[in-house]
Structure 1
């Protein structure tokens, strides 16, 4: 089978690059609904060439999304869920819009995060169709439009479709050493608000300065970093109206990461302790969770998927290291359902979220071959058990 997979994909490397170019040249920042709707239309068309059941899901406040299924999945059979996002971090007015090929690399917005991953998924499905396997395997493909802003609209949909699945594969970019992702830290995005008492700065004496209290809390919050389990960053602070006024209000935006559910519990306990104990009399603080994703531990189920994928890679002639990433993805939500999930199946590259973003061209086909073989292995294991 592996020789047949490579024989099918090898002459189609240019097709993969041409599809990537088409997707990258559609500006699809998370807030650019017209661009995202064009992306959804393109993905629906491409997936419609492979799968018999393709649906475009309309959204008012977010870009439209796409769900595509094999015939068994369309009949309600649970199987394998493939997940990829169509949005990028680059806004509609960005100057970073061009796709270009340069040596063994491709550059452009989303080539790595994660339009390259969408191309990998499409070509893996085309390969399975060529091999005659799609008629039997229940596969559901989910393309969402809001991952880069926390998946607020797509999370319930992803969780509904992934619930009870045999496995899920997510197509964020692969690691520099061809790594795939078996675990991710969870994330909390929070807003800390300190309320003080306004006054004239020239009067001196004791003052209920919201900024001064916030400064004390920032030092305590940054002290929660432990080098492994907990990572916390205060990335944006605002407050006050002028240098001669005691600030009545100050805020700080926090990003916190944790490895395990237990780590989250410990983090929340420490956050509540810090916020409840003000240092400056006359001030009070509140902390509101604005977004978040559960941790994706390197579970036994994830490791079983990884072992199957690694076996396929070794047959193809290379090793496949696993990786624990601090960044989050939609794989975190799926892991929270106790569904085995493997992430990082997109092409190898780097420098995402910048205008230097790139992938290695040949890894589009390489990852498509790995994905096709892994899907076949998962299904063979499930049906022979």
Structure 2
């Protein structure tokens, strides 16, 4: 495994801080500022959630971007909105920066969009005691608020002075614009000017009920299987002349994947399958049609699925095994498979673990408990994966909630303050 450029620096930094037994006087003031303004943070979250910002609701994404841009302007950051080319069909991204000469250069990552488009029947904001439900409340407007409120606490005690911090809130994390080189080009460029990246997707609770940190995330990629058979009378199936048909061959291949390609942190899921005498999909590749008769051997089959892996070495092993299975055709059939990479993997490097160590110590010193690493196989893809190959990275610094992407998405209100305290102390220690 190749260590990223700042891995050893992060390790040294973590060891120098790990001995801290309590908060310093300035850190105590930071915590007091967070607690004193928790209600303000909750109000900001409510305002953001009450604006629909489904990825394809470009106007809504920009409106949420303006709301957060105003916050960063108040904090003395230099802000700008990056429009995407019309061909990318996405709203754009919010960037806020400040420059200084002390400590680590940080990149803080959030996103403005949600999976709930403008016509979604899912409610916006609804508070129920110590929890709140709404569109994107934990994925990830809660995380965006945590970034703002942590920086606000630091600013109030003068701890932002002379620091270098970049913030990027993407407008299309839930459905990244194509080509990726364009839609994530500015984020990659920001990472190249940074030492450490912190992302604020919702934290995931482990079996013991503890908040965790994400040091690794699996890639998101896709595969397409195309199978051909001999069309003919169904009474001849299994014979040397007629063969097995496309549907049996597709079934053989999928079962071969299930039995032979399994290894830890690797998954492959067929999400769409069509078979018959004729098949076809629409331009999006998410809908299709098939025609066939029970007394006719299927001539064609198509399967589309995803593949998630933790390293490129794991990907290459999976590709090789899957291709070998595809090549073992049943009589009278043939098949081909192609792969498409989307999100790169975020491998759990020593540098990432070192950043988690600093974060965990900050949490423990604040009386909020240590933060264990979440097993990488338990998270899907996220924006931080585009920058993790370049800098030491940590994700999962956001709020705690349930039901992301569903009508039941909610958030534990107390987790906003808890995560804001941890984040503010972490940023303070990294930028000293």
Same fold (TM over 0.5): yes
Post-superposition shift, 1:68? 0.6
Q: Which of these residues, 191, 200, 208, is aligned with residue 171 of structure 1?
A: 200
1:8-19 aligned within 5 A: 8-19=33-44
Q: Which moved more, 1:309-318 or 1:209-218?
A: 209-218
The CA deviation at 1:126 is 0.9
CA contact (8 A) 1:187 1:258 kept: yes
Match of 1:228 among 264, 267, 275: 264
For the Cα contact (< 8 Å) 2:143–2:200, is it kept in 1?
A: yes
Tell me, yes or no, if structure 1 residue 3 matches structure 2 residue 36.
no
CA separation of 1:228 and 1:272: change in aligned 2, threshold 3 A: same
1:190 aligns with 2:242: no
Looking at structure 1, the residues matched to 220 and 196 of structure 2 have their Cα atoms a distance apart, in angstroms, of 23
Deviation of 1:194 after TM superposition, in Å, equals: 2.2
Q: TM-score, normalised on structure 1? A: 0.90
| Cα distance in 2 between the residues matched to 1:144 and 1:210 | 43
C-alpha distance in structure 2 between counterparts of 1:125 and 1:104, whole Å: 24
2: CA distance, partners of 1:41 / 1:280: 61
Q: Which residue among 148, 152, 160 is the counterpart of 2:189?
A: 160
* Cα deviation, residue 196, structure 1: 3.8
Whether 1:352 and 2:408 are equivalent positions in the alignment is no
Q: Distance in 2 between matches of 1:175 and 1:305?
A: 17
Structure 2 gap ranges (5+) = 1-25, 277-290
Kept in 2, the 8 Å contact 1:229–1:263? The answer is no
Partner of 2:119: 93
Whether the 8 Å CA contact 1:27–1:97 is kept in 2: the answer is: no
Alpha carbons 2:323, 2:337 under 8 Å: kept: no
1:117 Cα deviation after fit: 0.4
Farther-moved stretch of structure 1 (361-370 vs 182-191): 182-191
- The whole-number CA distance in structure 2 between the counterparts of 1:223 and 1:51 is 57
Query: Of the candidates 88, 95, 103, which is equivalent to residue 129 of structure 2?
Result: 103
Q: Which residue of 2 aligns with 1:49?
A: 74
Structure 1 residues 3 and 218: alpha-carbon distance in aligned structure 2, compared to 1, 3 A threshold: same
- C-alpha distance in 2, partners of 1:310/1:323? 12
Q: RMSD of aligned C-alpha atoms?
A: 2.2
Please name the residue that 1:68 is paired with: 96
Tell me, in whole angstroms, the C-alpha distance in 2 between the residues paired with 1:35 and 1:280: 54
The aligned residue for residue 213 of structure 2 is 180
> For the structure 1 residues 203 and 266, does the alpha-carbon distance in structure 2 shift closer, same or farther, using more than 3 Å as the test?
closer
Conservation of the 8 A alpha-carbon contact between 2:104 and 2:431: no
Among 26, 31, 36, the residue aligned to 2:51: 26
On the 8 A contact 1:197/1:283 being kept in 2, the answer is no
Per the alignment, do residues 16 and 150 of structure 1 end up closer, same or farther by CA in structure 2, a change over 3 Å counting? same
Q: 1:180 deviation in Å? A: 1.4
Would the aligned equivalents of 2:81 and 2:93 in 1 still touch at CA under 8 Å?
A: yes
Name the counterpart of 1:383. none
State the distance in 2 between where 1:197 and 1:36 align. 50
2:223–2:337 CA contact under 8 A, matched in 1: no
Query: Residue 212 of structure 1: CA displacement?
Result: 2.4
240-249 or 265-274, larger mean C-alpha shift: 240-249
Matches within 5 A, 1:195-234: 195-199=228-232, 201=234, 206-207=242-243, 209-224=245-260, 226=262, 228-234=264-270
Aligned with 2:121: secondary structure?
Answer: coil
Aligned residues: 375
Deviation (angstroms), 1:199 = 4.8
Contact kept in structure 1, 2:261 and 2:321, CA below 8 Å: no
Find the partner of 2:339 among 284, 288, 297: 288
Residue 56 of structure 1 aligns to a residue whose secondary structure is: strand
Q: Following TM superposition, by how much is the alpha carbon of 1:47 offset from its aligned partner in structure 2, in angstroms?
A: 2.1
The 5 A counterparts of 1:254-265 are 254-265=305-316
Q: Distance in 1 between matches of 2:211 and 2:55?
A: 27
Q: Which runs of 5+ in 1 are unaligned?
A: 381-385
Please state how far the C-alpha of 1:170 moved relative to its aligned partner.
Answer: 0.2
Paired residues of 2:244 and 2:330 also in contact (CA < 8 A)? no
Summarize the Cα distance change of 1:305–1:248 in structure 2 as closer, same or farther, 3 Å threshold: same
- Give the TM-score normalised by the residue count of structure 2: 0.81
The structure number with the bigger radius of gyration is 2
